[in-house]
Amino acid sequence: MNIVQLRKLSYDEVAKCNKCGFCLPSCPTYLVMKEEAYSPRGRNAITRFAIENKLKLSEDTERSIFSCLGCGACTAVCLSSVKTKDIIFQNRECEVDEGFYPKIIDRLVRTLEGSRNISDDDNEDRAEWLELIKDFPEDAFEKEHAEILFFVGCVASFFPMVQRIPANMAKILQNAGVDFTILGGDEWCCGFPLIGAGMPEKLEQMKEHNLKKVADVGAKTVVFTCPSCYHTWKHFYKTDVRLMHASQLIAELIKDKRLTLKKEVNLTATYHDPCDLGRNSGVFEEPREVVKAVPGLNFVELPQNRMLSVCCGGGGNVEMTDPDLTAQVAQMKLDSIKDVGAQMVVTACQQCVRTMQTRAKRTKSDLVVKDLTDLVVEAME
Amino acid sequence: MDNKELAERLREIAGKDYVLTSDMDRMLYSYDASLEKAIPDVVVLPNSTEEVSKIMSLAYREKIPILGRGSGTNLTGGSIPVKGGIVVHFSRMNRILEIDIPNRTATVEPGVITLDLQTEVLKKGFIYQPDPASQKVSTIGGNIAENSGGPHCLKYGVTSNHILGLEVVLNDGTVIWTGGKSRDNPGYDLAGLFVGSEGTLGLVTKAILKLERAPETIKTMLAIYETIEDGANTVSAIIAEGIVPATLEMMDNPVMRAVEETIKVGYPLDAAAVLIIELDGMPEGMDEKAQKIMEICKQNNVREVKLAKDDAERDLLWAGRKGAFGAVGQVRPSYLCCDGTVPRTKLPEVLNKVMDISKKYDVPIGNVFHAGDGNLHPLIMFDERNKDELKRVLKASTDILKACVDVGGTISGEHGVGLEKLKETSFIFCENDIEFERHIKKAFDPDDFINPGKMIPEPVCEQ
Ligand SMILES: Cc1cc2nc3c(=O)[nH]c(=O)nc-3n(C[C@H](O)[C@H](O)[C@H](O)COP(=O)(O)OP(=O)(O)OC[C@H]3O[C@@H](n4cnc5c(N)ncnc54)[C@H](O)[C@@H]3O)c2cc1C
Ligand code: SF4
Ligand code: SF4
C-alpha cells in the first residue's frame, strides 16, 4: 500500500484522534518504553504526519509501528473509538512497501509460503504432538469425515513447550465422546502472522486451502485452541461453518453434562483474557465458566480484566522483532497477577502460555501458568 | 552549540537511550491535547533531580529554551515548544516516594499519574482530592503547573489547596525546596507561586501532597431537566441554601448523546440537561441533606432525580462525565474547550449566549462543566482539517470568553492560559497586572528560556 492509498483508507479515522492521551496508560508498550513513539497517540500521529506528507516513513517509524502488540487496548478506552490498531496495521502495509520492516519478516513469509507453517518444519510433522497421547486408538484422528474439525494452529503444532495443548484438547473431546478430526499435514497456517506483518493480501491462498479442507471433511463446526486462528477465521474467512473457540465448546460440553470436572484443584487462580479471544473477539464468559467449574479452585479477577485486559506481550509479531519488549510487558503482567495473590494464572491461548511461562521461568517465579485445557484435563482425570 | 553537540551533552547526562533526536521523535513532542504545534530540537527523559539540574544548567549556559512535559494532555498549548529547544519528558520520574499516613502526606516525583497515586492511597483509606477528568493519564507535575481542578474541587479546592511542598530546579540548575510536611511555613509562599505558573518559573522534581481520609458515605444523584435554565437555577439555589455538595456537574443534551455512543451510561437522551450531584462525608445528616437537595430540584422543575444505588452505578455516571471531552469526537473529529468561569447566578444567561454564538458561527457546541464553580467548558466541535471552520471556531471561542468576562467572570477556570488564550488575557488584566507578572517571571528567569512564550503576553511594543 502506498501513502495515497493509506490516505484514502485511514485519513478520516486517524483524524478522529484528538490527542487527548487517554489511551497512554492502557498501552503496554508505552508503559514499558515511556516514550511517545511507543504510544497509541504517537502511532496515530505518525500515520497522520505521513499522510499529510510532513514525515517520511523511515527506520524510526518502523520501530514505532512494528512494536505495536495489536492488543486493541487503546481502542477499548478511546472515547472517540479511534481504531488505532487497524490504522497501525494499515500503516504497516505502507512501511512494507517502502522497505521499512523488520527483515526477520522476510524469513517468516518465505517459510509460510514454502512449508505452510511458521516454523519451517515439514508440514507433515504437524501432528507430532500425537506422540504425547500414544494410548489413543490410531484411527481416532485424521478421519475422512467428522462433525467437528479441530484446527490446531502452527504454534501448538510445532513449539514443544505448548504441544501439550492440542494433546489436552484431543483428550477432552475424546472423553466427551465428540466426533472430531484434525487435518494433520493438510492444515495450513491460517495466515494471521501475515496481517501483523503488513501483508494481508498473502492470506488469500491460506484461506482458500483451509476452507476447502473443511468442506472435504464435511465438518459443521471448526474449533480452535488458538485465539488468533479463531479471530482470523472469524474476521477474514467468509464462511457459514460454525466457528468456536475451545473454551466455548468446553463450556457447552460441561453444560450438557457430557464432561464433568471432579478432581479438586486447591489453588487461588486468576484468568488472563487473551487479546484476540476477549477484546478482539468478544469471548469473555465461557472461559471463566470453565475455570469456575473446577472444584476447590478459588477464583480471583485481575483488576484490569475483560475489555481492559492487559496484553501478555506476545502479540503483533513483537516477540519475533523485539523479544526484550515482549519480556518487559510479560513482567508487568506477572506482577499484576502476583498483586492479586494468585498462585496460578489460567489463560486460553498457547501464545499467552508461552510468553508468561517463559518469563516466569526466567525470573524463577513459582507462578503456575496453565492453558484452560491443562486445567480441564487435570480436573477431569 | 549546535543540535548535535547539544544532544551529545544531554546523552552524557541522561544516558544515550534517553535522548531523542530523530525527525519522528521530535515531531511526536510537537503536540499536546490543544490545537497548537511546534517542534523541539531534542527530547530528554531524565531519571532524577540531579539529571534535571544538570540539564537545566546546560540550557541556562547555552540559553536554550526548555520546558517540562507530563502526559501532554493540557488543553492550551502549555507543553508546546514554541521556541524549539529542549523538551524534558518526565515519564521516567514516576515514583511514589513515600506515603506518610500519620502526617497525611504523599511525596511523589512529577511524572506520577494522578490516578495511580489516588489508587495507591485509597488502599490505605485516604484520598488525594484533585480529580481532573484526565486523572487517569495526567501527571502530578502537569496538575501543579496548570493548577488543575475537577468535579470534587467544589468542596475540596483545586490542586493549589493540596500542595504542601515542592522541590524545584531553578533556571541555573539550583535545586530548592519550598514548603514541606508541616502545614504552616515561614517566608514567601513560593510553592503557591509555582502552582499554576504553567511551568514558566522552573521544573518541579518532587512534590509533597496533602491527603485526606476517604469519606465514609457517598451519595450520587442524577437530576434530569427539560431546560438548561432549570438545571442552572438549581445549582444557585443549592449553594444559596448553604449546602456545599462534593460535586455539582452539568451536562447538556449534545454531550450526553456523544457519551452514549461509547459508554452506555443510560443518560436520558430526550432531556435538555442533567446535573450530577454528589454528597460525601459522615453518614449522620446525609439523608436529610439529600432530601433537601431533592426538594430544591423539585422547586426548580426537575423531571426526575435518580439516586445511584451502588458503586457500580456511581462509577458509570462518573465514567460518562469524565469521558465527555473525548466522546464529542464521535460527533466531529476535533474540539476546542473554552474554559471560562462566571458567577453562578449568571450561568443561564451565559449558556444562552453560548448557544447564540454557536448559531452565529455555525459550529455545534456542547456543554459539560463544573456548574457549582460556575466553570464552563463549552466544547466547540469541528474538523481541524477544515481551515475555514477552524477560523470560525477560534472566533467563537474568543466571543465565548468575552461573554464570560462581560458578566464578571474570567477566561480560565483550570486549563490555564498557555498559548491559546494569550490574546484573551487582555479581557481581564490591565497592562499593570501583566507587567507585574512579567517582573515575577524575570525574577526567576531573566533570560526567558523556561517555557517561553506562555501565559504572559509579550508587551505590545518593546522598549
Ligand atoms: C479529555 C481531557 C479532559 C481534561 N479535563 C480536565 C479537568 O477536568 N480539569 C483540569 O484541570 N484539566 C483537565 N484537562 C487538562 C489537562 O489534563 C491538565 O491540564 C493536566 O494537569 C495536564 O497534565 P499533563 O501531565 O498532561 O501535563 P502536560 O500537558 O504535559 O503539561 C502541562 C503544563 O505543565 C508543565 N509541566 C509538566 N510537568 C512539569 C514539571 N515537572 N515542572 C514544571 N512544569 C511542568 C508543562 O510545561 C505544561 O506547561 C483535561 C484534558 C483532556 C485532554
Ligand atoms: S487514540 Fe483516542 S484515546 Fe488515544 S489520544 Fe487519540 S483520541 Fe485520545
Ligand atoms: S494495539 Fe496495544 S500495543 Fe498497539 S498501540 Fe494499541 S494499546 Fe498499544
Domain at B135, CATH number: 3.30.465.10
Residue B177 in 3-state DSSP? strand
Residue A262 in 3-state DSSP? coil
Helix A372-380 and helix A246-255, axial crossing angle in degrees, nearest 10: 30
Q: What is the least distance, in Å, from the CA of A29 to any CA of chain B?
A: 13
- Cα–Cα dist B150/A7, whole Å: 38
Helices and strands counted in chain A (H then E): 18, 8
Average pLDDT, chain A: 95
Q: Which amino acid is at B168?
A: V
Distances (CA, A) of B65 to A21, B33, B53, B78, B143: 25, 21, 15, 14, 22
Q: Which amino acid is at A360?
A: A
- Cα–Cα dist A102/A316, whole Å: 12
- Domain ranges for chain A, please list them: 3-98, 104-254, 260-380
Q: Are B82 and B106 part of one and the same domain?
A: no
- Cα–Cα dist A165/A143, whole Å: 20
- Number of CB atoms found within 10 A of residue B425's CB: 17
Q: Are B292 and B337 part of one and the same domain?
A: no
Answer for the pair A208, A169: CB distance below 8 angstroms, yes or no.
no
**pLDDT score at B460:** 65
Mean pLDDT of A141-158: 93
A351 in reach of chain B (CB within 8 A): no
A260-380 matches A104-254 in CATH topology: yes
Closest CA to B296 of B320, B279, B312: B279
Instruction: Classify residue B372 by its DSSP letter.
Output: G
Closest CA to B382 of B338, B426, B431: B338
Q: Which amino acid is at A236?
A: F
Cell 502472522 belongs to residue: A193
**pLDDT score at A141:** 78
Residue B130 in 3-state DSSP? coil
B463, part of any domain? no
Answer for the pair B257, B241: CB distance below 8 angstroms, yes or no.
no
Q: Are B394 and B408 part of one and the same domain?
A: yes
- Cα–Cα dist A21/B419, whole Å: 19
Chain A residues whose CB is inside 8 A of the B40 CB are none
Q: Are B81 and B112 part of one and the same domain?
A: no
pLDDT tier at A73, thresholds 50, 70, 90: very high
Looking at the CA of residue B114, tell me the nearest atom of ligand 1: 25
**pLDDT score at B462:** 44
Q: Which amino acid is at A80?
A: S
**pLDDT score at B461:** 54
Looking at the CA of residue A41, tell me the nearest atom of ligand 2: 5
| CATH classification at residue B361 | 3.30.70.2740
User: Please, where are the H alpha helices in B18-112?
Assistant: 23-27, 49-62
Q: Are B163 and B206 part of one and the same domain?
A: yes
Q: Which amino acid is at A201?
A: E
Interval between CA B31 and ligand 2 midpoint (Å): 13
**pLDDT score at B463:** 38
Instruction: Classify residue A110 by its DSSP letter.
Output: H
- Number of CB atoms found within 10 A of residue B127's CB: 19
- Number of domains composing chain B: 4
Q: Are B311 and B410 part of one and the same domain?
A: no
Q: Are B209 and B228 part of one and the same domain?
A: no
Q: Which ligand is nearest to the CA of A65?
A: 3
Q: Are B229 and B302 part of one and the same domain?
A: yes
**pLDDT tens digits for A304-317?**
999 999 999 999 88
Task: Please give the grid coordinates belonging to residue A114.
Answer: 514454502
**pLDDT tens digits for B59-86?**
999 999 999 999 999 999 999 999 999 9
State the Cα torsion B147-B150-B153-B155 to the nearest 10°. 180
**pLDDT score at A59:** 98
Interval between CA B244 and ligand 3 midpoint (Å): 42
Q: Are B208 and B100 part of one and the same domain?
A: yes
- Number of CB atoms found within 10 A of residue B76's CB: 26
Q: Which amino acid is at B112?
A: V
| CATH classification at residue B228 | 3.30.70.2190
Q: Are B62 and B80 part of one and the same domain?
A: yes
**pLDDT score at B180:** 93
**pLDDT tens digits for A222-273?**
999 999 999 999 999 999 999 999 999 999 999 999 999 999 999 999 999 9
Answer for the pair B74, B146: CB distance below 8 angstroms, yes or no.
yes
Closest CA to B412 of B157, B159, B76: B76
Helix A246-255 and helix A285-292, axial crossing angle in degrees, nearest 10: 50
User: Is there a contact between B72 and A54 if contact means CB atoms under 8 Å apart?
Assistant: no
A55 in reach of chain B (CB within 8 A): yes
Cβ-proximal residues to B376 (8 Å cutoff; 6+ apart), any chain: B338, B339, B340, B341, B342, B347, B350, B351, B354, B367, B369, B400, B404, B413
Distances (CA, A) of A290 to A231, A257, B174, B183, B453: 20, 13, 60, 55, 60
For A260-380, CATH gives 3.40.50
- Cα–Cα dist B93/B108, whole Å: 9
Answer for the pair B78, B199: CB distance below 8 angstroms, yes or no.
yes
CATH architecture of A3-98: Orthogonal Bundle (1.10)
- Number of CB atoms found within 10 A of residue A361's CB: 12
Q: Is A16 left (phi over 0), alpha (psi -120 to 50) or beta?
A: alpha
For A104-254, CATH gives 3.40.50
Q: Are B22 and B77 part of one and the same domain?
A: yes
Instruction: Note the pTM of the prediction, 2 decimals.
Output: 0.96
B189 in reach of chain A (CB within 8 A): no
- Cα–Cα dist A5/A10, whole Å: 8
E strands, A192-324, are 221-224, 242-245, 268-271, 298-299
- Cα–Cα dist B75/B397, whole Å: 13
Which among B213, B230, B265 is the end of a domain? B213
Beta pairing class for B334-337 and B378-382: antiparallel
Cell 497525611 belongs to residue: B104
Mean pLDDT of A164-173: 96
Q: Which ligand is nearest to the CA of A17?
A: 2
CA A335 to chain centre: 21
For B424, list phi and psi in degrees, rounded to 5.
Answer: -70, -10
- Cα–Cα dist B169/B176, whole Å: 6
Q: What is the least distance, in Å, from the CA of B66 to any CA of chain A?
A: 18
Q: Which domain, by its residues, includes B342? A: 332-416
B87 DSSP β-pair partners: B43, B67
Around ligand 2, the residues with Cβ closer than 6 Å are A 17-23, 40-41, 44, 74, 78, 80, 82, 84; B 326, 329
% residues pLDDT > 90 (chain A): 93
**pLDDT score at B417:** 94
**pLDDT tens digits for A314-345?**
998 899 899 999 999 999 999 999 999 999 99
Q: Give the residues of chain B that fall short of pLDDT 50.
A: 462-463
Report whether residue B130 contacts ligand 1, using a CB cutoff of 6 Å.
Answer: no
Instruction: Please name the member of A24, A45, A46 whose beta carbon is closest to the beta carbon of B71.
Output: A24
B449, part of any domain? no
B450, part of any domain? no
Residue B201 in 3-state DSSP? coil
* Three-state SS letters, B298-366: HHCCCCEEEECCCHHHHHHHHHHHHCHHHHHHHCCCEEEECCCECCHHHHHHHHHHHHHHHHHHCCCEE
Which among B41, B60, B89 is the end of a domain? B89
Which of A14, A20, A46 has most ligand 2 atoms within 8 Å of CB, for mutation? A20
Task: Please give the grid coordinates belonging to residue B422.
Answer: 494569550
B435, part of any domain? no
Q: Are B294 and B197 part of one and the same domain?
A: no
Residue B457 in 3-state DSSP? coil
In degrees, to the nearest 5, what angle opens at C-alpha B337 toward C-alphas B331 and B341? 135
Which among B89, B112, B147 is the end of a domain? B89
Which of A85, A273, A310, A317 has most ligand 3 atoms within 8 Å of CB, for mutation? A85
A181 DSSP β-pair partners: A149
Distances (CA, A) of B102 to A105, B99, B163, B211: 57, 9, 17, 10
